[in-house]
Amino acid sequence: MSGLFLSLEGIDGAGKSSHIDALEALFRAHGRQVVRTREPGGTPLAETLRSLVLDQPMDPLTESLLVFAARRDHVVQVIAPALARGDVVLCDRFTDATFAYQGGGRGFDLDVLATLERWVQWGAAEAEVLLQPAITLWFDLPAEVAAERLAGARVPDRFESQPLEFFRRVAAGYAARAAQSDRFARIDAGQSRDQVWQQVLIALHQRKLIA
């Protein structure tokens, strides 16, 4: 059985993380082994880099380099081995987040990000291809609604404390990234939790990822 790589994307407050439990249960019910992970993070080294990215001030290039360094370790240590075993990998954010947050939000050079993407992900799964998710569930939500959901929820990190305009740019970055690839399944995250989950199920069925 071949491995299956799924990523969940969206701005902070879109609600993507709340559906990972249900996704894991769904695939396990279909007899699959599941690896749940996140970015930045997923390995001890990547989690250390995550804490730096979320908490320490830095310029956009440094931020991007740290994110991709964490991603490389994550891919080599966790994602590629899991796919080789035939597991399902559920990843809370992947490279699309970098294009949305560092590219869209920070306004960093997309060509540089694309170069880093190739360096980190080309041939990472023992094939001469760029490692990407089979499907990306994009939880799309207006920045204003996301901000209302996050208000007072927890102490914000360096990204969550950004102004609303930053998240508008991030949302636009996701939309631009989605327009470039048919692996994206847009989920209207403004609906109820049950309605959002039904959209997820429909997307998986349409891609024939579940029976």
Task: Give the Cα separation of 16 and 25 in Å (integer).
Answer: 15
For 5, list phi and psi in degrees, rounded to 5: -110, 115
The answer to whether 14 is annotated as binding is yes
Q: 184 with 175: CB under 8 angstroms?
A: no
DSSP string, 196-209: HHHHHHHHHHHTTS
Q: 89 with 82: CB under 8 angstroms?
A: yes
The answer to whether 11 is annotated as binding is yes
Q: 89 with 33: CB under 8 angstroms?
A: no
The answer to whether 12 is annotated as binding is yes
The answer to whether 15 is annotated as binding is yes
Give residue 43's identity as a one-letter amino acid code. T
CA dist 67 to 54, 83, 190, Å? 10, 21, 28
SS3 80: helix
CA dist 42 to 46, 89, 142, 153, 193, Å? 6, 11, 28, 24, 26
**Which segments are annotated as binding site for ATP?**
10-17
**Which segments are annotated as binding site?**
10-17
